[in-house]
A and B are shown apart, each in its own frame.
Chain A
Amino acid sequence: MSRASFACFVGIDLGSTTTKSVVIDDAGVIIGRGITNSRSNYDLACEIARSEAFVDAQMSRLRRALAADPVLEPHARVLSASLERSFRYRQHARQLANLRRACLLITAGAQPIEATLVEILDELDALAEKMFTGIAGAEKRSEFFRDIAGAQFQRAAEQRADPRRLPFEDIVAVFDKAILKVENEGDDLTFEGNARAAFTRSLSLYAKASPEVRSAAAAVLDDLLARPPVVRASVGTGYGRARLPFPKERIRSEILCHGLGAHAMFPMTRTVLDIGGQDTKAIQVDGEGIVTGFQMNDRCAAGCGRYLGYIADEMNLGVHELGPLAEQATRKVKITSTCTVFAGAELRDRLALGEKREDILAGLHRAIILRAMSILARSGGVHDEFTFTGGVASNPAAVRALRDLVGENYGPRVLNISPSSIYTGALGAALFALRDVNRLDEEQRRPEEAHA
């Protein structure tokens, strides 16, 4: 194991709904990824995404280090899992403490609301303890604090609400205000800040922790903390990139980052389709992942992820439920307009006419993909291989419609979809950071060839 600090490169994609961060090493390999929901404080969202990525990176290093140590190897799997859970629990507990503080500031002694709130928060604390024990707990890390705590809070509030004494809306209103405060003020959620405490807790829970194991584990952690990753360069991209505290040379359009990221994930990519929440992009790239052409649909929400959000709301479903439901369609329903403004009305009209939900949804998915097909055609067509990214890429009905339409109009194409496609932009940004540094190093090695 190397004694030197290791160089890494960071890409931050500041999107409208989520902020992503990817950390890569100097070989371009991903070592950490982080994601958080974007919020009004862009700097903070950026910071949190970055720190999440580093937590992720450190965790993987830790896992490898534990497995590499002969003393720890037999315990490595269990220890790693336990450490992660403890770590996440600690992060979550800190957030809950912040939430409690914020809530109490709002209620300021008023009763019976404050007492009820305290009860609810106590319940959340207890739930947290349970959540992060057992293997299932470790999966929670991919959900946001706001969503987890929010759902739990709502349920607890429902149980305690009384329309006359203490309406549900009043209780929840406190949460809504408090969570904003919590999110926008941030907290130290870094690996370094919380590792030791989490570590101690893990080891104390671990029955087979002999003194030998304890000291070996402590040594591994010390070594890790002593050699933090050194960021050589960062590149920012995404919707909010102008707000990033990076110099101009370190900011790249998301078109370029997306193209390069897709190329990194699938090196034979020539055409990329990204259907995001706000816009749809069709990007053509060459063999190096460099963009040769693109088209965007950014004025009109039709055919974007947001549209599906509206439909989901109208039908009282989760966005992730739309695709599977659409897959059950038996009839062809032709939807000609994907105008978001009329989405609700169109849907209600059709339901009133007796059309089945799944048939309408299938028609809607096809209509959305038809719009994407236009953008693709304008950008220069669909060439082999074709990579599909963005939230809508995880929608089976959308993917099916895309496969069909591409096949019908362009012939057979390899269609690539990665479950990590949401990180495409951030990955591309990180790779640009790496390329920039390599080019600078190259120029420094040959000063006589560098341009003024």
Chain B
Amino acid sequence: MKEDLTHDVPKEPSMLRQKELISGHYDALAAARDNGRKVAYTFVPGNLTELLLAFDVLPVLPEINALQSGMRKRSGAYITEAEKLGHSEDVCSYVKCDIGMMKTGLGPTGKAMPPPDLLLLSYTGCFTFMKWFELLKQEFPNAEIAMLHVPYQGGGVVTKEMRDYVVAQLRSEVVPKLEKITGKRLDEDRLKELLERSARAEEDLVWVLESAKHHPSPIDGYFGGVFYIGPIFTAFRGTEEGCDYYRILREEVQGRIDRREGPITPVGPLDNQKYRIVVEGPPNWTSFREFWEMFAAEGAVCVASTYTKVGGLYDQGFRHDPAHPMETLSEYCLGCYTNLNLPTRTGLIAKYVKEYEADGFIVHSVKSCNSFSAGQLLILREIEKRTGVPGGFIESDLVDPRYFSPANVKNRLESYLQMIEQRRHGGGAVMEASP
């Protein structure tokens, strides 16, 4: 039974296509054992899809499972289960959702989720990942586990030593473990092929993301963006189907630009865009549609977001480089959004506000994710100072429904947008932030 996760959200052809891809992937996972395919669990930031696919290994992304459970309104129950097992209410709801889901033996689509042959602990941009996979190791004691420590860009730059460190780990830790579980050697040629395709898809993705610079914007770069990054951040980067998807998407978006149309939102096409907004922070998944509706109903289109860069910062120039496979994988991991330091993140958002000609920016702060959230209040004030544009602040969570209060969220959003509106009619300048 294929559950239609997006039945609430109107469909663009590309959306249907990505839905097919993703559900196809879940089917493949359900059949993995029978087909003798190996399965690796890993994370979106720092994901090594090309490497895994070069070994014919199927990737499972527990974060995606968690957000899928959230969108299907199952996460609440899973979280409660995990808390009964002793997990604190203070910790990340993705982890708890996953733990709760594991107990059912099923994945978010209701199909069996295969156990991991390898836990590829890509330790990129988030401390919780380490604990998450340690917990999974307890559940799956027979799985191999590989730690890939991706150093943090504390100083705002990627140094040669950081790159070398990741490459060394790939060679000494990750590849050997993949060889062990599959019984195959690494096929470098295959890897290069995959990387070349990645670069192609990345070109199209960046084009799509930057299309939001148009007036009106043909895409929503946050809510809509979530669907656009699906294939490339999961099992399809490097594949023909992946490239295909981005080609279709690009054509679709071009069509909308030609017709001066806006994106399709839960309240219909958003051609009359009153507010152009940049968003920092992950979305809420349990009330995803409702949250999007709040924006669309006010005529607010998201022109850029940072969440769409968690699996890679392609719009700042990075492309996978098939000529240097290990180095490029390393570079890729180091550049994921949550691995950037606060000053860099601040600069990036300020740049988006200017380049995408935004009327405002909103920080969506989620309780679960300290990686995103710690310091966002300062980021907010810094960007206001640098751009002169006011920032809004909304709080909720990733997949714990107890932390999304529609009334509070709507109130803050409406107040913020009304504020922008009033200022257009002749208000003052942005206040200098006082220490």
Q: Enumerate chain A interface residues (CB-CB to B < 8 A).
A: 239, 252-256, 270, 284, 286-288, 290-296, 298-299, 377-378, 380-383, 410, 439
Do A255 and B431 contact each other (CB < 8 Å), given the known contacts A293-B384, A378-B377?
no
Contacts of B427 in A (CB 8 A): 286, 288, 290-292
**Residue with the highest number of chain B CB atoms closer than 10 Å, among A254, A256, A290, A292:** A292
**Cβ of B387 under 8 Å from chain A:** no
Do A256 and B435 contact each other (CB < 8 Å), given the known contacts A286-B427, A378-B377?
no
Residues in B394-413 with C-beta less than 8 Å from chain A? 395, 403, 405, 407-408, 411-412
The answer to whether A299 and B428 touch across the interface, beta carbons within 8 angstroms, is no
A–B pairs, 22, beta carbons within 8 Å: A253-B418, A256-B419, A256-B422, A284-B431, A286-B428, A286-B429, A291-B422, A291-B427, A292-B419, A292-B427, A293-B384, A293-B391, A293-B431, A296-B412, A377-B434, A378-B393, A380-B381, A380-B431, A380-B432, A381-B433, A383-B434, A439-B425
Query: A252 CA to B418 CA in the complex, in Å?
Result: 8
**Cβ of B426 under 8 Å from chain A:** yes
**What is the minimal beta-carbon distance from B417 to any residue of chain A, in angstroms?**
9
The answer to whether A410 and B434 touch across the interface, beta carbons within 8 angstroms, is yes
**Cβ of B281 under 8 Å from chain A:** no
The answer to whether A299 and B395 touch across the interface, beta carbons within 8 angstroms, is yes
**Cβ of B107 under 8 Å from chain A:** no
- Within 8 Å by CB of A381, from B391, B393, B403, B434, lies B434
The answer to whether A253 and B411 touch across the interface, beta carbons within 8 angstroms, is yes
**What is the minimal beta-carbon distance from A73 to any residue of chain B, in angstroms?**
45
The answer to whether B393 and A292 touch across the interface, beta carbons within 8 angstroms, is no
The answer to whether A382 and B419 touch across the interface, beta carbons within 8 angstroms, is no
Measured as residues with beta carbon below 8 angstroms from the partner, the interface class of chain B is: 20 to 34
Contacts of B411 in A (CB 8 A): 253-254, 296, 298
Contacts of B381 in A (CB 8 A): 380
The answer to whether A295 and B428 touch across the interface, beta carbons within 8 angstroms, is no
Cβ-closest chain B residue relative to A382: B434
A-B CB proximity, top 5 nearest = A381-B434, A286-B428, A290-B427, A253-B415, A255-B415
The answer to whether B434 and A290 touch across the interface, beta carbons within 8 angstroms, is no
The answer to whether B390 and A299 touch across the interface, beta carbons within 8 angstroms, is no
Contacts of B240 in A (CB 8 A): none
The answer to whether A291 and B435 touch across the interface, beta carbons within 8 angstroms, is no
Contacts of A410 in B (CB 8 A): 434
Query: A292 CA to B432 CA in the complex, in Å?
Result: 10
Query: A383 CA to B427 CA in the complex, in Å?
Result: 17
**Cβ of B423 under 8 Å from chain A:** yes
Contacts of A290 in B (CB 8 A): 419, 422-423, 426-428
The answer to whether B415 and A256 touch across the interface, beta carbons within 8 angstroms, is yes
Query: A295 CA to B434 CA in the complex, in Å?
Result: 14
**What is the minimal beta-carbon distance from B305 to any residue of chain A, in angstroms?**
22
**Residue with the highest number of chain A CB atoms closer than 10 Å, among B377, B408, B423, B427:** B427
The answer to whether B423 and A292 touch across the interface, beta carbons within 8 angstroms, is yes
The answer to whether A255 and B419 touch across the interface, beta carbons within 8 angstroms, is yes
**Cβ of B430 under 8 Å from chain A:** yes
**Cβ of B414 under 8 Å from chain A:** yes
B261-285: CB near A (< 8 Å → 1, else 0) gives: 0000000000000000000000000
The answer to whether B431 and A383 touch across the interface, beta carbons within 8 angstroms, is yes
The answer to whether A253 and B428 touch across the interface, beta carbons within 8 angstroms, is no
- Within 8 Å by CB of A288, from B384, B428, B431, lies B428
Cβ-closest chain B residue relative to A295: B393
Residues in B232-265 with C-beta less than 8 Å from chain A? none
- Within 8 Å by CB of A292, from B405, B407, B408, B428, lies B428
Residues in B61-75 with C-beta less than 8 Å from chain A? none
The answer to whether B419 and A291 touch across the interface, beta carbons within 8 angstroms, is yes
**Residue with the highest number of chain B CB atoms closer than 10 Å, among A255, A287, A383:** A255
The answer to whether A299 and B405 touch across the interface, beta carbons within 8 angstroms, is yes
Contacts of B395 in A (CB 8 A): 299
Cβ-closest chain A residue relative to B421: A256
Query: A292 CA to B428 CA in the complex, in Å?
Result: 7
Query: A292 CA to B434 CA in the complex, in Å?
Result: 14
Cβ-closest chain A residue relative to B426: A288
The answer to whether B415 and A294 touch across the interface, beta carbons within 8 angstroms, is yes
**What is the minimal beta-carbon distance from B398 to any residue of chain A, in angstroms?**
16
Cβ-closest chain B residue relative to A381: B434
Cβ-closest chain B residue relative to A292: B431
The answer to whether A287 and B433 touch across the interface, beta carbons within 8 angstroms, is no
Query: A439 CA to B430 CA in the complex, in Å?
Result: 24
Cβ-closest chain B residue relative to A291: B419
Cβ-closest chain B residue relative to A281: B415
- Within 8 Å by CB of A253, from B390, B414, B426, lies B414
Contacts of A252 in B (CB 8 A): 418
**What is the minimal beta-carbon distance from A424 to any residue of chain B, in angstroms?**
15
Contacts of A287 in B (CB 8 A): 428
Contacts of A288 in B (CB 8 A): 426-428
Do A381 and B435 contact each other (CB < 8 Å), given the known contacts A292-B430, A299-B405?
yes
Contacts of B408 in A (CB 8 A): 296, 298-299
Cβ-closest chain B residue relative to A271: B431
Query: A378 CA to B380 CA in the complex, in Å?
Result: 9
Contacts of A254 in B (CB 8 A): 411, 415
Query: A288 CA to B422 CA in the complex, in Å?
Result: 10
Cβ-closest chain A residue relative to B394: A296
**What is the minimal beta-carbon distance from B393 to any residue of chain A, in angstroms?**
6
Contacts of B419 in A (CB 8 A): 255-256, 290-294
**What is the minimal beta-carbon distance from B397 to any residue of chain A, in angstroms?**
11
